[in-house]
Amino acid sequence: MQLEIITPEVKVFAGEAEAVQLPGLDGLFQVLNGHAPIISALKEGTVKIDLATAFEITEKTSDLIEKDAKDAKIIRVTIKGGVAELTNNKLIVLAE
Amino acid sequence: MPSLKEIRNRITSVGSTMQITSAMKMVSAAKLKRAQDAITQMRPYAEKLQEILGNLSATLDISDNAYAESRTVNNVLIIAVTSNRGLCGGFNNNIIKRVNHLVNVEYAAENPRVLCLGKKIKDTYKKSKFYYINDEIAPVEDIFSVLSFDNAAVIANDLMKRFVNKEFDKVVVVYNKFVNAATQDVITEQILPIVKNEQENSAATADYIFEPSKQEIVEDLIPKSLKIQLFKALLDSNAAEHGARMTAMHKATDNAKELQKSLKLSYNKARQAAITNEILEIVGGAEALNS
């Protein structure tokens, strides 16, 4: 699925993901490819992303992204709350 | 007629003023670019948030939300946004004029208070009885030195809390909206209680799963959208400031050029007159010797 993580100041991440784990208000949940449309409020926590391809650090990569030590396909982004919307296999996370 | 030396000095001084103003214009152009980028960065977030909120409020009445409660207005807070620095034309004066009008005429009976963001308005209102500040906001009052969402959120959060506690019944923000580099509009916008914007409901509402529930999501989103509204006003004002300064400095450079031109003309006139005089004297002297 396509994933975008945006804050009011910067676009943190945009790319293809296999699965995304989100800190929902009622607890952690994970969305996989082809999930039904969902809108969810998020609380403070970490968004864990399983990428389709290994994550590469480029000049434009935000410093909010944290790479997993073992698996190059996993990255984490810490958020202070927000909301996530998934439609047509496109997940948009509005983070703070 | 001023002496040649005086004119020469003036030409030099106008020249150095021109250098300063054109340098300031260039600096403002660069800063304007960055300020506009910040607005462009924020836009996708703001639009998506509006869209989700619009989606939700289409099927849900938000008028019973704590931030939507409109009650008899006894206490008004005016958030006035100016720049920290001058030399930007009427940019700050327009805001000050509008705030003066709001305080003395429009909200005169509703106990108006003014929260000053930006040094220029603060200098004007610091000593007045309308000046407002509290401990929570004080650390971020000088918001334009570090213009970040987090700082704007501090202000918004505090004001939302005070609105719910009925300390204020209405909060408006006065700022310069960025239209283009040469144009700014002074805008008075109501922040609290929230105004529901009547947008056409996107008919293509997908059949969403709501997690945890519609009601809770809306309650979570409304404060976010208020923060964004304030942040947007600040970014707009920031971009408008640099635009205004750019235009003002451009005009100043043009005026200096004009002035330099006319000074050069009168310098040359004076120089020629002096030469003519000298020749006349020499010729007159020679004539006197010959006769």
Q: What is the arithmetic mean of pLDDT over A13-27?
A: 91
Q: Confidence class of residue B53 from pLDDT cuts 50, 70 and 90? A: confident
CB contact (8 A) between residue A83 and residue B221: yes
What percent of chain B stands above pLDDT 90?
62
Contacts of A72 (CB under 8 A, 6+ apart): A54, A55
Per the structure block, which two tokens stand in for B148?
């970040």
CB contact (8 A) between residue A36 and residue B209: yes
**What pTM value is reported for the model?**
0.86
Nearest chain B residue to A10 by CA distance is: B41
| B56-115 pLDDT, tens digit each | 777 777 777 888 888 889 999 999 999 999 899 899 999 999 999 999 999 998 999 999
Q: A5, A6, A11, A89: best mutation site toward chain B, by most B Cβ within 10 Å? A: A6
Residue B132: half-sphere exposure toward Cβ, Cα within 13 Å: 18
Q: Domain residues for B167?
A: 26-197+208-247
- Going by their DSSP bridges, the two strands A11-24 and A38-51 should be labelled as antiparallel
Q: What span, in angstroms and rounded, lies between the C-alpha atoms of A9 and B96?
A: 29
Overall number of domains in chain B: 1
Q: How many Å lie between the alpha carbon of A75 and the closest alpha carbon of chain B? A: 22
Q: What span, in angstroms and rounded, lies between the C-alpha atoms of B4 and B11?
A: 11
C-alpha B113: how far from chain center: 20
Q: Flag whether B45 is in a domain.
A: yes
CATH number of domain containing A68:
2.60.15.10
Nearest chain B residue to A11 by CA distance is: B41
For chain A, say whether B154 makes contact (Cβ under 8 Å): no
Q: What is the ipTM of this complex?
A: 0.85
CATH number of domain containing B52:
3.40.1380.10
Determine if the peptide bond prior to B139 is cis (ω within 30°): no
| B229-267 pLDDT, tens digit each | 999 999 999 999 999 999 999 999 999 999 999 999 999
As annotated, the active-site residues of B are 88
Check if the beta carbon of residue B154 is closer than 8 Å to that of residue B137: yes
Overall number of domains in chain A: 1
Q: What is the arithmetic mean of pLDDT over B114-139?
A: 90
Q: Flag whether B77 is in a domain.
A: yes
* Burial group, residue B1, by CB count within 10 angstroms (0-12, 13-18, 19+): exposed
What percent of chain B stands above pLDDT 70?
95
| Opening angle at CA B92, ends B170 and B35, nearest 5 | 90
Q: Flag whether B273 is in a domain.
A: no
Q: Confidence class of residue B121 from pLDDT cuts 50, 70 and 90? A: very high
Q: Domain residues for A75?
A: 2-95
Q: Flag whether B268 is in a domain.
A: no
Confidence (pLDDT) at B66: 83
For chain A, say whether B52 makes contact (Cβ under 8 Å): yes
Per the structure block, which two tokens stand in for B157?
């959060």
Q: Confidence class of residue A69 from pLDDT cuts 50, 70 and 90? A: confident
For chain B, say whether A64 makes contact (Cβ under 8 Å): no
Helix-helix angle B149-164:B214-290, to 10 degrees: 120
Q: In terms of Cα–Cα distance, which of B140, B119, B121 is closest to B186?
A: B121
Check if the beta carbon of residue B190 is closer than 8 Å to that of residue B172: yes
